[in-house]
Amino acid sequence: MPLVLTEEQSMLRDSARGLITDKAPVSHLRQLRDSKDEMGFSRDLWKAFAEMGFSGLLVPENFGGSGLGYVEAGVVMEEIGRTLMPSPFLSTAVLAVSALSRGGSEAQKSAHLPKIADGSRLAALAIDEGTKHRPLQINLQAVRSGNGFKLSGAKALVVDGHTADLLIVAGRTGGAAGDRNGLTLFLVDPKAKGVAIERTVMVDAHNAARIEFSNVEVDADHVLGEVDQGYQLLDGVLNIGRGAVASEMVGLSEEVFGRTVTYLKERKQFGKLIGEFQALQHRAAQLYVDIEITRSAVLKALQTLDGDFDHAGAAIAVAKARAGTTAALAVQEGVQMHGGMGMTDQFDIGFFMKRARVCQELFGDSNYHADQLARMKSY
Amino acid sequence: MSDLETFRRETRAWLEANCPPEMRRPMTSESDTYWGGRNAKFSSEPQRVWFERMRDKGWTVPDWPKEYGGGGLDRAEHKVLREEMAAMGARAPLSSFGIWMLGPALLKYGNEAQKKEHLPKIAAGLIRWCQGYSEPNAGSDLASLQTRAESDGDDYVINGQKIWTSYANYADWIFCLVRTDPAAKKHDGISFILFDMASKGVSTKPILLISGYSPFCETFFDNVRVPKSHVVGTVNRGWDVAKYLLQHERAMISGTGERGIGRPLGQVAADSVGSDDSGRLDDAMLRGQIAMFDIDEAAFAAVAERAIDLAKAGQSHPAFSSAMKYYGTELNKRRHEILMSAGGIDALEWESDRSKGGARPRAWLRTKANSIEGGTSEVMLGIVAKRILDLPGA
């Protein structure tokens, strides 16, 4: 498949960009932050997203969605990255939908997917427990109890955790931390007894929560996929999430870069436009090359997810690692080249820097994915 | 089954049957390749067999028209052939500046007589070409070149000096930039001309490099007479041809080296430094460097693929080859730094059979030229800054 967007994908990009730049420029995030908005995102905007079919983009058509692919999800994520629009798209429309449609029973799918597609239900994926992303180290205990399980443990950095109507929780039904076997995914009602959700105010003003589970009872038919065999499902869902976040970072990097190049053409010092200085020209050119390479790697990874899902691991590791390092460079150069202005809160660049930091960490940073790639290549 | 799948199946079968096993191993050095030409010698029988079979199919230049000695393959078929050759590690049957650089320029700018005269000989490896671009005071600032061609009846008389002429001492013909109008602005008085290196007044002198090899020469022209019909394109408009050719040269250099061929770096390193109990390379920092390199290399492969797809879709920027040249050559230098690091003490041996005559350190030193030849990394970044990003100045 050619590494360029099809006409349909370009049209999707244009309509997403139209809506997002119109309704949710960076000032939208700023306003939510400054007003300490309780939800941390706009319900109205999510409704508009649903009306345009974005919330059900990955939902199969027989469950009320558009049944599109991961490249299309990436197209929307990239536009989200351009304005840093806070929305449940990643948590609900990408991660939860993927987990449900790849691992869910017919009953589970029909219970949740249509409501996600129409925008009325939000969901969150609860995985990480430690400081760094280590899915194999998941150790939330899920002990058999009667017909079902009792969950005890804690999760951190649950994206959109405090707004979710449904939690997808990874727990250990067997084995020990580090084992591939013994992981199980559960559908958990956030209002269930024993669930304590604390919204964490994050550096990037996006939503995340710490969630504690104390003897939370979960019925057996709320197991997503098979007991003890959840790792493969989780790994696939995480790869989708990684591809999506990498796309967001491509959008974010391009936006920061665009703003920076514009500034280089406007700002004068020593009687010259600063864009005339070779030191800055070369750094800008290097960043351009980095972004082009990363964009290619991310598109390649998403196409591989769509075309050969089970063998997409290496391409995803490359994409997430590249996108993380490129975004880090883009925001750093953005702030530096804007000089003192770049350091002010009044200026938008700092928002990009903060969001890039979170995206780097989400679902494994560049070091994590470099290590994964080395393991895949047996060295 | 689609035509393309049939083509793939037949191509694979033909390559399997015709590519000698010796030609499926990675090359050990740049000299371990067949360059063709009047005085060409094959270094081995398999090399001769492989070259002749590929030549007879037109597959030394698979995408050139058949009438000029090519294989007449379309883009998709050409890609299939490249993929199938890469999959079995098959070497290129012929290394040639005629194929990489002059051929594309002649196809675009040459007249019919020039195409008929030169392209089939390039395809068949009969003539080895060299490039006369750089001069002692016109390197990165190529357009300030001073070699002059003065009109004398039906001929030009050429005087001047070129430098960094790759393999000029082995070449049969040269494609050369000369100044035909000294009064014009510097880009406007240059012509692109072809002539025989055996012409009276041409002499060459090899330049020894830090690698111990001398792939480059100084080349001198002392009243060399060349028929005016040997000018390619329009007189004084040679800069257009030169630029077009440079794009191909940059694309060629950005793909320099063994990327995608040969054993993965991680395996090479594991062989020499060893692994720990869990199978991880027994040098955590080196392992990290290799992993980061592998990421960048895979990403670069994706951008190379995308560059072709963008060109096909009519969406590519003409200066993008500069971006590719910059990154590809920096990547290749990194690869060889890692190879040296992975090889440790063993990679330092310069002259011995065990080290194949110091192949690894010589290759490492050779890569340092990648980010200089064909336009330095700094020149490439300058082109990106001005032509793609539209930054002001100069």
Q: What is the pLDDT of residues B189-227, one digit of tens each?
A: 999 999 999 999 999 999 999 988 888 999 999 999 999
Helix (H) / strand (E) containing A171: strand A166-172
Catalytic member of B249, B297, B330, B373: B249
Of B270, B299, B312, the CB nearest to A318: B299
Mean pLDDT of the region B135-162: 94
Residue B247: pLDDT band with limits 50, 70, 90: confident
Inter-chain CB proximity B305 and A314 less than 8 Å: no
Q: Which of B267, B295, B305 sits opposite A3 (nearest CB)?
A: B305
CB B184 within 8 A of CB B236: yes
pLDDT given for residue A113 in this prediction? 98
- B249 has catalytic annotation: yes
Interchain CB contact of A201 with B (< 8 Å): no
Residues of B with CB below 8 A from A367's CB? 288
CB-based burial label for B155 (10 Å; 0-12, 13-18, 19+): middle
Q: Which residue has the higher pLDDT, B356 or A7?
A: A7
Output the pLDDT for position B252. 74
Q: What local confidence, expressed as pLDDT, does residue A245 receive? A: 98
Give me the residues of chain A with pLDDT under 70, please.
none
CA A331 to chain B, closest CA, distance in angstroms equals 18
Which among A292, A322, A326, A329 is the top mutation candidate for probing chain B, defined by the most B β-carbons within 10 Å of its own β-carbon?
A292
Q: Is A288 on the interface with B (CB under 8 A)?
A: yes
Q: Is A262 on the interface with B (CB under 8 A)?
A: no
Cα B99 to Cα B81: distance, rounded to the nearest angstrom? 17
Disruptive mutation site among A249, A260, A283, A293 for chain B (greatest number of B CBs within 10 Å): A293
pTM of the predicted model as reported, rounded to 2 decimal places: 0.89
For residue B290, the chain A residues in CB contact (below 8 A) are: 374, 379
pLDDT band per the 50, 70, 90 thresholds, residue B259:
very low
Q: How many CB pairs under 8 A join A and B?
A: 141
Q: Mind telling me how many Å the CA of A67 is from chain B's nearest CA?
A: 26
Token pair belonging to A133: 């992303």
Q: Is the pLDDT of residue B257 over 90?
A: no
- Rounded Cα distance between A296 and A306, Å, is 15
